[in-house]
Amino acid sequence: MSAEQWLADYQRELTGAVDGAVRANARLRQVSGHAIAPRGEVEAWVGVSGALERLRLTSQARTLEPDALARLIVATAKAAQRSAAGRITEIMTDFVGPSAASDLVKAHLPAEADDPPAGVRRTRRSAADEDDYFEHPEVRGE
């Protein structure tokens, strides 16, 4: 391979990398996360950084004790953060491919206590056990 051919190939690779970075950056700027409490009392939206940007409380939220509502808000915001972090991971994996860097990002995603296996929804053992609901709210991310 001639030096000119090598340089032309290298410049094409660089141009492709720059184009990929520009596309990934544009997608990352669009990232947000959203989650809703299981009974709909709380809905949260976060931006790409995970910062809470919007919070909606329904009239059902007024029936909750202040501490229970606070825990539900925090759990819902964390679920929205996990949603955003998952999208960021997808974008970065598309950009850099499976790599040690993407594994590192995945390892630092916000975790939910006692996550169920992928694709499995947790169910309540007893619908009457309201204390358990408020101590361990099951928030779904979107």
Over the stretch 65-97, which tens digit does the pLDDT of each residue have?
A: 999 999 999 999 999 999 988 888 888 888 777
Say if CB 69 and CB 49 are below 8 A apart: no
Which parts of the chain have pLDDT scores under 70?
101-102, 105, 109-142
CATH number for the domain spanning 77: value is 3.30.1310.10
- What confidence score (pLDDT) does residue 142 get? 56
**Boundaries of domain holding 69:** 31-112
Q: What is the pLDDT of residue 8?
A: 87
Residue 138 structure tokens: 């099951």
Q: Is residue 21 part of a domain?
A: no
Instruction: Confirm whether 126 is domain-assigned.
Output: no
Query: Taking the model in full, what pTM does it have?
Result: 0.65
Q: Would 55 be classed as within a structural domain?
A: yes
